[in-house]
Structure formats: structure tokens, C-alpha cells
Amino acid sequence: MLLECTLAGESWPLREPFEISRGVMTEIKVLVVRLRDEQGRSGYGEATGVPYKGETQATMAAQIEAVRGRLQVDLSGADLMSLLPPGGARNALDCALWDLRAKQAGRAAWQMAGLSRVEPVLTAYTIGLGSEADVRRKIRAARHLPLLKLKADGTRHLDMVRFAREEHPEARLVIDANQAWSRELLERILPELQAQGVELIEQPVERGQDAALDGLVSPIPLAADESCVDRGSLSALAGRYQYVNIKLDKSGGLTEGLALAAEAKRMGFGLMVGNMGGTSLAMAPAHLIAQECAYVDLDGPMLMSADRSPAMRYEGAMLEGAEVGLWG
């Protein structure tokens, strides 16, 4: 017998345009999966996909349609990993399956994941690229938030840090290049980034070009984002990065995300969890990964003009666990 699978494409407007090195976004388009069993219990999962790999609502839906006839009632996360590659389609299915299995078992998803408890976590708040006036305005509005993640590109980097230091002097800072830097640029600006107290640098070089970091002794830890997909990515990152950024859209779901976190930790990497944008339905399973992470970037709903109901609760920058009725 098959699980009933329903797909829905949704669009969620952002509060204002959000710019990174790859372009500008005004909305987040997600695919929502519902898996329903024969007793009428439903589990839900949401995915944005991986845009820089060409994933869209349509491509993710097509992947799921191709395996619809194999979604048996006894489907497991391991089964999904054999059916679909890492990416948004598998993420939406896998998170929906976790939600469904939790409801079937009458237990919380975090308990089924083997966690002893879930605690609120401190999330970074992301400041996108833009004009100086806009960037300064956004930083001033975030003065109550202790950890800022600054987007950067090949020309706007030190200025972003300077704006943050002038507008929010006490903020902890992370900077994310989104693959836009070269080894030469990184080495040139590292001393100033260190002097300004930047704690972490995300994905300075293009994914697949990580060998450019060989031999670099950075005073600031480097985190692999686009270069870190799943456990198969880790060997190529060792010695080049000190942290890995786990995103469920990249790993293809919570099942692989948890395994990736455990393996990365075993290999000596520090852990970060991030998001590709999305509603509280996407943040809820990632909150389980966040329990083990030194850096958490689950601010997706904070950047949007609306969210689901019920929603994850943000008390300033502290993100609490999923409410009953949302997920897990």
C-alpha cells in the first residue's frame, strides 16, 4: 500500500528585496509535501531547493512524481536516500516522513532523533547586500540582535563590516561571501576582518575550487557552505575548512542532516546549520540539527512578511522549538 502524497507550490514574499552575490530575491518559493497514511494522519515537509543547482518548484515536483509509485506505507528515510539524490525534493519528502512517523508513534520528532531534549538556540540575523544607506538602516534596526551574518561579494566586503561596527558596535559578526572571493582577495582582507572581530567566514571560494585554500593558515575559521552537501563531501573539505554549514535542502532531509552532523563532528569539524529561506515549517526540523551547532542561521521567517500559523517563536534572536501543530 502506498502513502498518499500531495504537492503544493507556495510563494512567500520577503519584507524587502534581499541581495546576495548571486542576485536579488523578493520572495521565497517553496514546495510543500503532505504524506497521509491509511488512518488519515498527515506529515508535512517544506523545501526551497538549491537554486544554484537549478532546483525549482517544478524540478522538485517532477522528481517526486517520478517516485510516487514507490512511497510505500513502510517507507524509511534510508529508502528515500536510495530513491532520490540530495536536494530539495528528498528534503521535503524526508521531513514530511519524520512528521508522519512522529504522529504515528505519538512521540516528538526530537525524541525519535535520539535527542535528550531541545533547547532554544541563538540564531544569526542576516544582513543582505545593498546601498550603504539600506545596509546601515537594516543594521540599526537589528541592534537588539547579538549575532549578525553579513552578506558580501567581490567588491563589498570590508565596507559591510565597517558599517556593522559603526551601527552596532557590540554585535558578533559572521561574513558570507557565497563563493565570490578568490584566495588572493581572502588573504588581502583577512587582517582587517580579524581586526574587526569577524568570527567566521562562510564559503569564500567557488564550490569545487576548494583546493585554492590549500596551505592557507587563516586566523578566522572558514565554513564550507555550498561545498558541503552530505557526508560524501567531507573528505574534500578536511584541512581546508574548520566548520561545515548543514542545510537540509542540500543534504536532502533530516535523515542525512543528522548523519552528516555526526560524521562531521567525528572528523573534527565545527557545526553550523543554515537555511535556504522558507517558513517555520522548514526551520522546525533544522532546529533539531541546531542543538549540536556552534553557529545557527535559521532566520528565514524573520526576513519574510508572513509565516505559517502556528509558527516557530522568535524571542529576539532566540529560536524556540516547533509548536504543536506545526511539525514533529
Strands 222-224 and 198-202: parallel
Q: What are phi and psi of 325, to 5 degrees?
A: 100, -15
DSSP string spanning 83-151? HS-SSHHHHHHHHHHHHHHHHHHTS-HHHHTT-S----EEPPEEE-B--HHHHHHHHHHTTT-SEEEEE
Residues marked as catalytic: 151, 247
Are the beta carbons of 34 and 44 closer than 8 angstroms? Answer: yes
Interatomic CA distance for residues 96 and 168, integer angstroms: 39
Task: List b or e across 249-264, with b for residues whose CB sees 16 or more CB atoms inside 10 angstroms.
Answer: bbbbbbbbbbbbbeeb
Q: Kind and range of the H or E element at 188?
A: helix 183-195
Cβ neighbors of 61 (< 8 A, separation 6 or more) are 7, 9, 31, 89
Which three three-digit cell numbers place residue 267?
Answer: 572528523
Nearest by Cα to 28 from 277, 315, 230? 277
